[in-house]
Amino acid sequence: MPDSDAANLPEYPRLAPGVRLHFDRTRDAWVLLGPERVIETEGPASEILRRCDGTRTVEQIVGELAAIYNAERAQIAGDVTEMLAELRAKRMLA
Amino acid sequence: MSVAAMPLPLGLLAELTHRCPLACPYCSNPLTLEDRAQELDTGSWARVFQEAAGMGVLQVHLSGGEPAARRDLVQLVAAAHEAGLYTNLITSSIGLDAPRLARLKEAGLDHVQLSLQDVDAASADRIAGYPGGHARKLAFARTIVGQGLALTINAVVHRANIGRVAAFVEVAASLGAGRVEIAHAQYYGWALRNRQALMPTRDQVDQAMQEVEQIRPRYADRLVIDLVVPDYYARRPKACMGGWARRSLNVTPSGRVLPCHAAETIPGLEFWSVREHALSAIWRESPAFQAFRGTAWMLEPCRSCSLREADFGGCRCQALALAGDARAADPACELSPHHGRMLALAEQDSAGADSSYLYRGRMARESIAG
């Protein structure tokens, strides 16, 4: 079953083997690339993905995003968790 | 179509060579294989990768033939990686060893797609026409995963192995693959010549699809399972290539650029070569890419169909092969007047006793013993 909450997320999220984030100049956008997968990302999503490097905890990622977007930590936490859970379900997060 | 509306390609299939130690009877290479003397050199491929990245291509699929037959494979991976492309190596693994794989990884290889012909070694080797190949593939799959590279197991299914789709998934999981692709043989080129020996029955297809769906939840936390459904028993066509000249290009070993790997089966199309033209000019302007881009070329029932922007009329090569006109609706569509005949062909071939293969690149039909 797909993970649905923070409890199932890795402690230090990083992109799965074979998955990487790439800045495409032609589209002027960050794209997440994996085997037979191309996912275009928008502002906040790419900021989250760039921090999934295996050195930061989910809490740290949330803190950094909250600082960048000057937003409520709780709201950011919800967004980050949701996105990471979705990536995990797609097997793009390790 | 205006330049502004020109779609950006996502993927480039680089057929580095048609040379291959295997001889699978469903090979996607053309019946007339290009020889080594015609192959693009290292520098030409490097230029193609740079041009591809510059026009929006994100992923390159290094394929063949067997790409490991190229002695400059490490340099080619390095060139693709340097261009910024996600590099996927589509291989049988024959011709690779652990040190060479380590060099490929160091050069920037992102992902390996390894083909298995069956889960039963004797059957797999018979299908590939290569004794001992299966055992070497299994061993090399472990090397790939052991080196920390992402692995997809690719299984082309047909009458000889369709009863073992669940076992394919299990083997992929046990090898540590992150993804398994179960793809039904596509009947162009070699596979079309071997359709009588390859075509499964409708019951076999239905059962295989059910099996995959049944076991899918069991692997949800370990493995991505991608299933490519077969055309002959379908009711609607696939959006072949995501639409002609919309998402990808294919460069042959000698540098001819095709909208799909089977496009050369359509007579009268003019293909341009990277030896004479820039890749972006070929994408935008070459007659073969313009021929079926968009929807203006369509005939009925596609022209007025509400799904014309969803499936783009299906596959042009299949339309030509079975309806006699590359502009016709793909007969996989139940709205095609040829749909019934396509189904009848499949049923007839699947019921036949002929299980001899015309192996890819070999001259004579060979019967299957046992």
Q: What are the pLDDT digits (tens) for B348-363?
A: 999 988 889 999 988 6
Closest CA to B259 of B323, B315, B331, B309: B315
A2 and chain B in contact, CB less than 8 A: yes
Query: Which residue in the block uniquely carries the two structure tokens 């030509």?
Result: B320
Per-residue model confidence (pLDDT) at position B189: 86
Contacts of A29 in chain B (CB under 8 A): none
Tokens describing residue B353: 């006793």
A19 and chain B in contact, CB less than 8 A: yes
Closest CA to B22 of B77, B119, B91: B91
Strand arrangement, sheet containing B111-116? B224-228, B179-184, B150-157, B111-116, B86-91, B59-63, B11-15, B248-251, B257-258
CB contact under 8 A, A24 and B88: no
Per-residue model confidence (pLDDT) at position B337: 95
Closest CA to B291 of B311, B266, B324, B321: B266
Number of H helices, E strands in chain B: 14, 11
Q: How do residues B158-185 score in pLDDT, each as one tens digit? A: 999 999 999 999 999 999 999 999 999 9
Torsions phi, psi for B212 (to 5 deg): -60, -45
CB contact under 8 A, B55 and A26: yes
**Angstrom distance (rounded) from CA A52 to CA A67:** 17
Q: How do residues B286-341 score in pLDDT, each as one tens digit? A: 999 999 999 999 999 999 999 999 999 999 999 998 999 999 999 999 999 999 99
Q: What is the CA radius of gyration of chain A?
A: 13
- Tell me what the pLDDT averaged over chain B comes to: 94
Check whether B344 has a pLDDT greater than 80.
Answer: yes
Q: What percent of chain B has pLDDT over 90?
A: 87
CB contact under 8 A, B152 and A26: no
Check whether B117 has a pLDDT greater than 90.
Answer: yes
Q: Supply angle C-alpha B107, B108, B113, rounded to 5.
A: 110
Partner B, chain A 20-59, Cβ-Cβ below 8 Å: 20, 22, 24, 26-27, 31, 33-36, 38
- Separation in Å, CA B351 to CA B181, B191, B197, B232: 26, 17, 10, 14
pLDDT band of residue A6 (cuts 50, 70, 90) is: low
The whole-model pTM stands at 0.93
Q: How do residues B270-295 score in pLDDT, each as one tens digit? A: 999 999 999 999 999 999 999 999 99
Q: How do residues B233-249 score in pLDDT, each as one tens digit? A: 889 999 988 999 999 99
State how far Cα B10 lies from the chain centre: 16
Tokens describing residue B5: 């509306």
